[in-house]
Amino acid sequence: MFASRPAAPGTLAGFAVVTDRFVGLLGSDSDAGVAVELYRLLEEPTTRLSDVLDVFASVGAMRAFALVEVRDPARRVLHVAVCGDVAVELPGVDTPSAAEPGAIWFDGEVRGVESLLLRVGVPDPRSSVALPIRRGVVAAAEVRFDEEHDAPSTLRAEDGVRLSTQSIELPRAAEADAVGTAAPDPAASGAGAPSPSWLLRLPDGGELEPRSRLVFGRRPWRTDPEETATGYVLAPSPRREISSVHLEVAPNGAELHARDLGSTNGTLVESPGRAPRLLRDGRSTMLAEGDVLDLGEGFRVHVGRGG
């Protein structure tokens, strides 16, 4: 998650803009209207940082800004562009000093970034705690990546108040097929075994060979950098109909199975000669050649066989 700090009293602040894939800081020469328009542009699922730079260039003089596109959150691969009097700190990455005002002085991809800090003006020295921001627009002098806000918070007993926790048992979602057949037992059937004969065709025409687990969703980012066996497929969803982590497709021996990952709206499974069925509530189903997985908003995955 990202965190921001306000500007010191009597100084001009910029605007921190955060979306699923971007974080940016506009200088004090931008107003709230510009920040809102930038946020709307960055919210579009097809927007790339280069598109934003083209828009900025087309409207005349560049404003002071720093924009970061997160291309691979697990490997910390970022595309960074900086213009004007905005400070950028990327420990371990060699970036040049700011050039003349109004000129882009850095535009490129950086890898292995350990931390990120964007600053314009003077942060309020009284604000020692950075406020978390997951998405949106806020007046700020500083925005940074903050791993502390990704970790669970810790409550402490103060002023004689005793805090305690109590474990509860939550019922598991029935691991059954959407039409009532029992889900396969991964331990008994050798889940994760390569199945190179399966082929998934994506809406953009791309094809995937599900040799291992695939996770589809609006924000299916890898949270453990050491975990590399799972593939992650971004399903654009401007209307938020597709959940952040929506659906799993994985080989199970010679079979291919789909499993709902607690999505809000589920996945419609269409099979030739069979009524469509809704896969949700953690349920699983076995897939067959010719099936179509409809996650919503036109994101349809066709199941087929390789050559």
Q: Where are the domains of the chain?
A: 2-149, 186-305
Average pLDDT over residues 29-35: 85
Write down the pLDDT at residue 292.
Answer: 96
pLDDT at 301 exceeding the cut of 70: yes
The bridge status of strand 299-305 relative to strand 292-296 is: antiparallel
Q: Return the DSSP state at 196.
A: T
Per residue in 224-245, pLDDT tens?
666 667 888 989 888 889 998 9
List helix spans (H) across 175-244. 186-189
The four Cα atoms 239, 243, 245, 249 give a dihedral, to 10 degrees, of -100
User: Using an 8 Å Cβ cutoff, are 286 and 251 in contact?
Assistant: no
Between CA 231 and CA 233 the distance in angstroms is 7
Pick the CATH number of 186-305 from 2.40.30.10, 2.60.200.20, 3.30.70.20, 3.40.50.880: 2.60.200.20
3-state secondary structure 142-155: EEEECHHHHCCCCC
Residue 102: CB atoms within 10 Å: 13
Global confidence as pTM: 0.47
- pLDDT by residue (tens digit) across 4-21? 666 667 766 789 899 988
pLDDT in tens, 91-143: 666 554 444 445 677 778 888 777 788 888 666 666 556 777 888 898 888 88
Alpha-carbon distances, residue 297 vs 123, 182, 203, 237, 239 (angstroms): 41, 29, 11, 7, 8
Please say whether the beta carbons of 282 and 175 come within 8 A.
yes
Tokens of 249: 């497709």
